[in-house]
């Protein structure tokens, strides 16, 4: 007889008589189920209507879908900027199937985030808990809930594949600290939450890398800590307050500096906005255009080589360092003009709204 004790025999007989009475769920599956049941009511489906025009300039409504997360009982919903960009109409579908017209509250193209609002009763709104994206580790569990291809509240599971990635926002600015995950993310997931094993939102899914336009295991999410920092500003004023210098510049590498016979690498100022802080500080833009291969460069302007004594690597790092300064603060730009180094003091003002998207 293969059984060494009566307990084993009883368990075998019970399994034969009641084959579905013994749970086959693993602890990991129990966790996934619990998270889905608790968090999916906080995830919404966003339907957008934009207007395009045919050859005869007749308006043609076009629909799109995305995801979002309820963040408070006042009906504020966090999503991607590119989900709601240029939308003429926004509609939100809640977990119970009810549909609500939404209004745009605030947008930050530089971080691809926006906040919309619906006037639903508080009892229908279950806010999602925020996590701390600064303590994430590669290899830990990652769970995405969203609406891929319009399939509402779909759950996918994976891990955090990498941290500290960079992506270009829709306005060309560099987004840093991006989370990479292999949890399946597809069109329609954008704006939905990326969760940890405790059901806390650690990121906002924003993009995929795919040569076929669908998931191949490389998805990206904006860190939750980025959202926590800017969401209050989006709700309060509708935009993110950033310092403004007011120049258009060109990266100049050491090799390019040699070709152009410039004294140093840095940021070559092509244009200075009239009335901007840079203009008031006497920064000079370029006058002539030269071509190097397919590259057109405006020369003759000041070369910015340092910000507050810190050497400049390239335009992306310069913008990042500049935006770490407070609106109203003074910075020192080390420039080269006519082969001479000088320091210009610039009082930064708030970036105009017309510049927020560029």
Active-site residue set: 82, 112, 190
Burial 268-283 (b: 16+ CB within 10 A, else e): bbbebbeebbbbebeb
Contact 214, 186 (CB under 8 A): yes
Contact 167, 158 (CB under 8 A): no
- The candidate with the shortest Cα–Cα distance to 210, out of 220, 197, 200, 201, is 220
Rounded CA separation 133/288 (Å): 46
Binning the chain into helix, strand and coil, the percentages to the nearest 5 are 20, 40, 40
Q: Between the CA of residue 240 and those of 162, 283, 318, 335, 339, what are the distances in Å?
A: 28, 26, 19, 29, 38
Burial 108-145 (b: 16+ CB within 10 A, else e): bbbbbbbbbbbebeeebbbebebbebeebeeeebbbbb
Contact 81, 92 (CB under 8 A): no
Cβ-based burial of 172 (10 A; exposed 0-12, middle 13-18, buried ≥19): exposed
């Amino acid at each position: 007889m293969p059984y060494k004790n009566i307990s084993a025999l009883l368990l075998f007989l019970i399994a034969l008589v009641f084959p579905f009475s013994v749970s086959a769920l693993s602890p990991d599956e129990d966790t996934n189920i619990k998270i889905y049941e608790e968090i999916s009511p906080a995830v919404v489906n966003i339907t957008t209507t934009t207007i395009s025009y045919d050859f005869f300039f007749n308006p043609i409504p076009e629909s799109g879908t995305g995801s979002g997360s309820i963040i408070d009982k006042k009906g504020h919903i966090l999503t991607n900027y590119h989900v709601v960009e240029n939308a003429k109409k926004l509609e939100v579908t809640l977990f119970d199937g009810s549909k609500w017209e939404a209004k745009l509250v605030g947008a930050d193209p530089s971080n691809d985030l926006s906040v919309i609002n619906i006037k639903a009763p508080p009892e229908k709104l279950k806010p999602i808990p925020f996590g701390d994206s600064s303590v994430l580790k590669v290899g830990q569990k990652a769970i995405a809930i969203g609406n891929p291809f319009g399939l509402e509240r779909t759950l996918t599971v994976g891990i955090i594949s990498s941290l500290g990635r960079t992506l270009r926002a829709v306005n060309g600015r560099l987004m840093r600290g991006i989370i990479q995950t292999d949890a399946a993310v597809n069109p329609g997931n954008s704006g939905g939450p990326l969760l940890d094993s405790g059901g806390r939102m650690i990121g906002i899914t924003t993009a995929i890398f795919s040569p076929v336009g669908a998931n191949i295991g490389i998805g990206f999410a904006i860190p939750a800590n980025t959202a926590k920092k800017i969401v209050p500003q989006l709700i309060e004023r509708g935009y993110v307050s950033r310092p403004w210098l007011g120049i258009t510049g060109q990266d100049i590498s050491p090799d390019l500096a040699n070709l152009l016979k410039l004294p140093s690498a840095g940021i070559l100022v092509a244009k200075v906005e009239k009335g901007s802080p840079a203009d008031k500080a006497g920064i000079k833009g370029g006058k002539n255009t030269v071509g190097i291969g397919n590259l057109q460069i405006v020369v003759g302007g000041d070369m910015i080589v340092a910000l507050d004594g810190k050497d400049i690597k390239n335009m992306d790092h310069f913008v990042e360092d500049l935006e770490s300064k407070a609106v109203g603060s003074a910075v020192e730009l080390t420039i080269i003009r006519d082969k001479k180094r000088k320091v210009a003091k610039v009082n930064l003002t708030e970036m105009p709204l017309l510049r927020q998207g560029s």
